[in-house]
Amino acid sequence: MKKQNDIIASAMQVFDQESFRGVGIDRVIAPSGVSTRTLYKHFGSRDGLVLAVLKARHSAFMAQLAAEYSDEDPVGGVFEALRGWMAGHGTQGCMLLRARSEYACANPDIVSLVNGQKSAFRAELARRVRIALGEEDEVLTNQIWLLFEGATAAAGLATVAVIDQARDAALLLLAAAGRRNG
């Protein structure tokens, strides 16, 4: 299991900094010091490794999201989690969406995994909106989701200050929805 985790961790760094399909397998496994044979033994294929990396990445982000939860500001906490995530992982945008884009026509399992992961994140966001508003609001959830995804992409082009701006916009939308519904 340790060897698997080492391979996933090193592959995650390479995929995050470079790409998924545009980088050779030797470059992907070089930081872990394993052979191609060991890679295939643990993951079956390169795409099997990509799936494992994406699962680990999503799990780590969802754990960070849970750690940033507070009853006082459940929606703002999403953006605080993003800020913390980018402080530790950089501002290259969303690895999941990059993988989905690169594998859109090449591997339906990877596309399906990413779609499921994004749905799980959106469900968590909907739960937080429900807690903050006292009721479900799908339109508001979508608006905040768009702000989050936009801030994730824009932070690499601008600065992480866009995360704070997206949070502020989300909180304004939340307040407006509260007045509208209250």
Q: pLDDT tens for residues 94-118?
A: 999 999 999 999 999 999 999 999 9
Counting residues of the chain whose pLDDT is more than 70, the rounded percentage is 99
**Predicted local distance difference test score (pLDDT) of residue 182:** 60
Among residues 5, 90, 89, 76, the alpha carbon closest in space to that of 42 is found at 5
**Predicted local distance difference test score (pLDDT) of residue 11:** 92
**Predicted local distance difference test score (pLDDT) of residue 49:** 95
Mean pLDDT, residues 153-164 taken together: 89
Q: How far apart are CA 63 and CA 67, in angstroms?
A: 6
Mean pLDDT, residues 61-71 taken together: 91
**Predicted local distance difference test score (pLDDT) of residue 137:** 96
Mean pLDDT, residues 69-82 taken together: 93
- Rg of the chain's alpha carbons, rounded to an integer? 18
Residue 53, amino acid: V
Q: Under CATH, what is the fold of the domain 2-181?
A: Tetracycline Repressor; domain 2 (1.10.357)
**Predicted local distance difference test score (pLDDT) of residue 158:** 83
Residue whose token pair is 């754990």: 63
Query: Does the predicted TM-score (pTM) go above 0.95?
Result: no
